[in-house]
Amino acid sequence: MSGTILHLRSELGKALEHRSALTPTTAKALIDAGYTVNVERSSERIFDDSEFENVGATLVPENTWRDAPTDHIIIGLKELPVEEFPLKHVHIQFAHCYKNQGGWEKVLSRFPRGGGTLLDLEFLTDDRGRRVAAFGYHAGFAGAALALETWAWQLTHPASEPFPSVSSYPNEDALIVDVKKAIALGKEKSGKDPRVLVIGALGRCGSGAVDLCLRAGVPTENVLKWDMAETAKGGPFPEIVESDIFVNCIYLMSKIPNFVDFKSLDTPNRKLSVVCDVSADTTNPNNPIPIYTVATTFNEPTVPVEVNGEPRLSIISIDHLPSLLPREASEAFSKDLLPSLLQLKDWRNVPVWARAEKLFQEKVATLPKSEL
């Protein structure tokens, strides 16, 4: 028996977050390997509490992670609620604080103040530097779906009617049915299929965006698949402005030339009406799409951009797009994460976790003393 205790917290810090870092399938695999898995009850999680209970997990009240013994490892997905108290546990999650996002110091400083450790899922990598688990595919898939629906909506509705709120789908096929209907309406109004440019098309996220477009019926020749070779010359790129939809799927760590900016948008050749920034690094100072500053949500999926002339332009910058397909996205992510979780017994001596701890320590060393 490993003696390792994992505590799956509910996602109280993120509205409409239905995904889960653990699924009943992966929880069972961990339990079979000797782990104890405590699961906080949750009415938001896509998996029913009973699904976890049926595989041997122990259900505990919501938000009890903070009072759990310090040797329990707390696992979740999105950032914790914004609070001040120090963190004493090992936390496995996406914290969104390593790329100097707004407020990163407040987020990160809670760990050293409480003697806790952050093992950030975004930076959990194998020996080749590739992330061991990511939601990228379903993020791109969902982002492209909403971009196509927004394109059609703006063709068939006045500017006074913004694209409406969205909610999760049970599976990919159900989402594609709605996207196909939207494309048909948009095509009837405009007389043409949309042209979609995807940057980062060779990665997980980009492949998801491309797959959605093709499965929804966008002609292959209308899906422009760009990656590092096409962007090497540096932007801004007129090809973006001359497309109907731009889906940004790159993983950004440093400053690069802008892909699009207000100057490049100010042209009579503009056809661009929808930008989906799947990366959604709204507060990242290196964001190569500096035409918006607002993160959008499932309740308000788009935000308008002030441009000259027609068509009107909207941005989608939802930072939890895979929640549009929470069951499939969670199953895929958790399956990829499972081999690493099965090595948590002696995690400090396991390379994948040791690298994550080292990065945490390096980032903590950059904190202003006033935050410690």
Domains of the chain (ranges, CATH numbers): 5-122+326-365 (3.40.50.720), 135-324 (3.40.50.720)
CA–CA separation, 198 and 220 (whole Å):
12
pLDDT band at 254; cut points 50, 70, 90:
confident
Compute the mean pLDDT over every residue in the chain, rounded to the nearest whole number.
95
- Statement: residue 130 has pLDDT above 80: yes
What pTM did the predictor assign? Answer: 0.88
In percent, the amount of the chain with pLDDT more than 70 equals 99
Burial class (CB in 10 A: 0-12, 13-18, 19+), 5: middle
Tell me if 120 sits within 8 A of 93, measured CB to CB. yes
Model confidence pLDDT, tens digit, residues 109-124: 999 999 999 999 999 9
pLDDT band at 153; cut points 50, 70, 90:
very high
CA–CA separation, 36 and 55 (whole Å):
12
Binding site feature residues for NAD(+): 130, 203-204, 227, 231, 251, 278, 318-321
Question: Average pLDDT for residues 315-335, to the nearest whole number?
Answer: 96
Model confidence pLDDT, tens digit, residues 167-184: 999 999 999 999 999 999
Question: Average pLDDT for residues 243-254, to the nearest whole number?
Answer: 91
Tell me if 314 sits within 8 A of 305, measured CB to CB. yes
**Which residues are known to be catalytic?**
78, 96
CA–CA separation, 200 and 229 (whole Å):
10
Q: What is the pLDDT of residue 135?
A: 94
Provide the terminal-to-terminal Cα distance of the chain, rounded to the nearest Å: 38
Angle, in degrees to the nearest 10, between helices 136-156 and 326-341:
160
CA–CA separation, 234 and 232 (whole Å):
5
Higher per-residue pLDDT: 314 or 285: 314
Binding site feature residues: 130, 203-204, 227, 231, 251, 278, 318-321
Q: What is the pLDDT of residue 235?
A: 95
Q: Which distant-in-sequence residues (6+ apart) come within 8 Å of 123 by Cβ?
A: 98, 131, 355, 356, 359
In percent, the amount of the chain with pLDDT more than 90 equals 89
Tokens at residue 146, please?
Answer: 């909403």
- Statement: residue 1 has pLDDT above 70: no
Question: Average pLDDT for residues 292-318, to the nearest whole number?
Answer: 96
